[in-house]
Amino acid sequence: MRNLILGAAVALVIPTVSARAQDAAAGEKAFTACKACHAFGKNGVGPNLTGVVGRKAASVEGYNYSTALKESGITWDEANLKEWLTGPAANKVKGTKMVYQGLKDDKKVADVIAYLATMK
């Protein structure tokens, strides 16, 4: 009985993991829309996005953030990133200097977040 339960648990976990890997690969492609301003490991027009998932907003040293983002008190968990990426100024932080209309496709948003989570 115990093995049966374990087996069922493994069967449930494995598809989730591979789905995530696919999402991240798709997210890398969708990230093309961000590359004009963002890189990993260095600041550009926008801040360095290495390790952004789980990080406090506006916390990259040496990057000149807007006051609006500095005062937002946000931590970039999945829910906050979702709102941000669908419309940074419209849905999340009025006054941000991230001038980007936002991703309109929920799948792309989820994929990009999965990709960001791999860039630690």
Rounded least distance, CB 41 to ligand HEC, Å: 13
* Residue 18 CB-half CA count within 13 A: 5
Contact status: 39 vs ligand HEC (CB under 6 A): no
First-to-final CA distance of the chain: 39
* Residue type at position 18: S
- The backbone torsions φ and ψ at residue 52, rounded to the nearest 5 degrees and listed phi first, read -70, -30
Contacting ligand HEC within 65-104 (CB under 6 A): 65-66, 68-69, 76, 85, 96-100, 103
Cα gap 15→77, rounded to integer Å: 23
Total of residues contacting ligand HEC (CB under 6 A): 27
Q: Which residues bind ligand HEC (CB under 6 A)?
A: 33-34, 36-38, 45-47, 49, 52, 57-60, 65-66, 68-69, 76, 85, 96-100, 103, 112
